[in-house]
């Protein structure tokens, strides 16, 4: 039985990517050594690194005045690096909070400077995202930070936030590469790789070059974006294996018609699941408000929450794995990133309708 893995991350990788990685694991391109065994300064790895970088640049249409960096430390390390690098004394970091990850980001930023929550949807249980017009920014804002897709709560922005010239910083960990975005609206985008880009252990940072000039001197070298920009992402030994896999994922995405092609499939996939929620007569209840529904993380509950464990057990027995919601919020969550096949969503929807008929 095929297992469909709804895990929120690390998440499913495309099967053809895993197959190619398996085939090449002992010998990268016939060199007789694994990509994990060769020097990160070797010609072979240089090709791998530039392949991954140019793949991301092509797919996301990243202009020349932006640098693409590969870091470590996960999405969460960016909660610290962003304010360390960009939050100058006397300025504020404006934070738009639409879920649990944004909350963590602002908390971390407050350790380095004046971090200000300019919007939060906590009062509605993180079910919504603001309209652009609802936001107003501090006059002394060094940047505005938001989370384009809140992985735990399952809410997603449907537009690229604009801040009237204030640099926009975006945590796109759980929806990068899922749809086209206008990079030029952003000053910095970051994303842990383990949902839509590759394995855990690599974080992609896309940063507009002029931001590099604002960074204060004296930061620890590995917390300073300039160290990565000036050293081809290699001020020290990078996650070579992870970067290699990112290159493969990019080529797989090319074969899917790029981000526009995958977006179409993501919309179709999510619609199957949201339609099942909406047509269940309230047996299943979606968490996010309709207009904020994430295409990547579908969060829901059963009307009778006592049945949730039973549902999860039955799902497991049908090869539907990883449906338990985040431990902080409970309920259920189906993470259906780029690599997640539609057939898995269809199997889940069948179970939902059958389970509701038996337990309704």
- Considering only residues 171, 224, 263, 308, which one is a binding residue for ligand PMP as defined by CB under 6 A? 171
Task: Decide if 342 is catalytic.
Answer: no
In the set 94, 195, 241, 269, the catalytic residue is 195
**Is the CB of residue 331 less than 8 Å from the CB of residue 337?**
no
Does 192 interact with ligand PMP (rule: CB under 6 A)? yes
In angstroms, the Cα distances linking 318 to 267, 289, 302, 348 are 24, 29, 19, 9
In the set 101, 179, 241, 252, the catalytic residue is 101
Angle at 286 between CA 284 and CA 292, to 5 degrees: 165
Give the nearest distance from C-beta 24 to ligand PMP in angstroms.
Answer: 25
- From 64-72, 122-130, 169-177, 232-240, give the range in contact with ligand PMP by CB under 6 A: 169-177
Find the binding residues for ligand PMP in span 94-133 (CB under 6 A).
101
Give the nearest distance from C-beta 195 to ligand PMP in angstroms.
Answer: 7
Does 51 interact with ligand PMP (rule: CB under 6 A)? no
Give the nearest distance from C-beta 173 to ligand PMP in angstroms.
Answer: 4
Does 76 interact with ligand PMP (rule: CB under 6 A)? yes
Query: How far apart are alpha carbons 21 and 35 in whole angstroms?
Result: 10
**Is the CB of residue 198 less than 8 Å from the CB of residue 191?**
no
Find the binding residues for ligand PMP in span 135-154 (CB under 6 A).
147, 151
Task: Return the HEC string of 102-167.
Answer: HHHHHHHHCCCCEEEEEEECHHHCCCCCCCHHHCCCCCCEEEEEEECEECCCCEECCCCCCCCCCC
Task: Decide if 64 is catalytic.
Answer: no
Task: Decide if 264 is catalytic.
Answer: no
Does 196 interact with ligand PMP (rule: CB under 6 A)? no
Task: Give the nearer residue to ligand PMP in terms of CB position, either 192 or 286.
Answer: 192
- Considering only residues 121, 174, 233, 240, which one is a binding residue for ligand PMP as defined by CB under 6 A? 174
Size of the site for ligand PMP (CB under 6 A): 11
| Cβ-based neighbours of 290, under 8 Å, separated by 6 or more | none
Task: Give the nearer residue to ligand PMP in terms of CB position, either 192 or 283.
Answer: 192
Task: Give the nearer residue to ligand PMP in terms of CB position, either 280 or 338.
Answer: 338
State in Å, rounded, how far the first CA of the chain is from the last one: 28
| Cβ-based neighbours of 47, under 8 Å, separated by 6 or more | none
The pairing of strands 332-335 and 297-302 is: antiparallel
**Assigned token pair, 297:** 């993380």
Which position's Cβ is nearest ligand PMP?
Answer: 74
Q: Is the peptide bond before 131 cis (omega within 30 degrees of 0)?
A: no
Angle at 285 between CA 281 and CA 290, to 5 degrees: 100
Give the nearest distance from C-beta 70 to ligand PMP in angstroms.
Answer: 13
- Considering only residues 51, 74, 180, 331, which one is a binding residue for ligand PMP as defined by CB under 6 A? 74
Task: Give the nearer residue to ligand PMP in terms of CB position, either 151 or 239.
Answer: 151
Q: Looking at the annotation, which residues are catalytic?
A: 101, 171, 195
Q: Which residues bind ligand PMP (CB under 6 A)?
A: 9, 74-76, 101, 147, 151, 171, 173-174, 192
């Amino acid at each position: 039985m095929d297992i469909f893995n709804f895990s929120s991350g690390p998440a499913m990788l495309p099967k053809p990517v895993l197959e190619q990685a398996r085939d090449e694991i002992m010998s990268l391109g016939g060199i007789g050594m694994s990509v994990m065994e060769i020097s990160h300064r070797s010609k072979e790895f240089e090709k791998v690194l530039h392949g991954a970088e140019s793949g991301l640049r092509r797919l996301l249409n990243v202009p020349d005045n932006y640098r693409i960096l590969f870091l470590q430390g996960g999405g969460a390390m960016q909660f610290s690096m962003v304010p360390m690098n960009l939050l100058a004394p006397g300025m504020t970091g404006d934070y738009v909070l639409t879920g649990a990850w944004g909350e963590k980001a602002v908390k971390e930023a407050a350790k380095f400077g004046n971090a200000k929550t300019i919007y939060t949807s906590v009062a509605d249980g993180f079910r919504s995202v603001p309209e652009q017009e609802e936001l107003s920014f501090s006059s002394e804002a060094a940047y505005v930070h938001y989370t384009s897709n809140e992985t735990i709560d399952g809410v997603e922005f449907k537009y690229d936030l604009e801040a009237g010239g204030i640099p926009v910083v975006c945590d796109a960990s759980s929806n990068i590469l899922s749809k086209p975005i206008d990079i030029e609206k952003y000053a910095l985008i970051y994303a842990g790789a383990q949902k839509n880009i590759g394995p855990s252990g690599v974080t992609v940072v896309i940063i507009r070059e002029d931001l590099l000039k604002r960074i204060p001197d004296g930061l620890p070298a590995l917390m300073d974006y300039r160290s990565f920009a000036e050293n081809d992402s290699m001020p020290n030994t990078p996650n070579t294996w992870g970067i290699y896999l990112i290159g493969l994922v990019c080529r797989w995405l090319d074969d899917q018609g790029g981000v526009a092609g995958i977006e179409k499939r993501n919309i179709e996939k999510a619609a199957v699941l949201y339609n099942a929620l909406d047509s269940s007569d309230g047996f299943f209840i979606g968490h996010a408000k309709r207009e904020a529904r994430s295409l990547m993380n579908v969060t829901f509950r059963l009307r009778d929450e006592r049945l949730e464990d039973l549902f999860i057990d039955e799902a497991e027995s049908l090869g539907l794995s990883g449906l338990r919601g985040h431990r902080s919020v409970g309920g259920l969550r189906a993470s259906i990133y780029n690599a997640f096949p539609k057939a898995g969503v269809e199997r889940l929807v069948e179970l939902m309708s059958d389970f509701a008929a038996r337990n309704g």
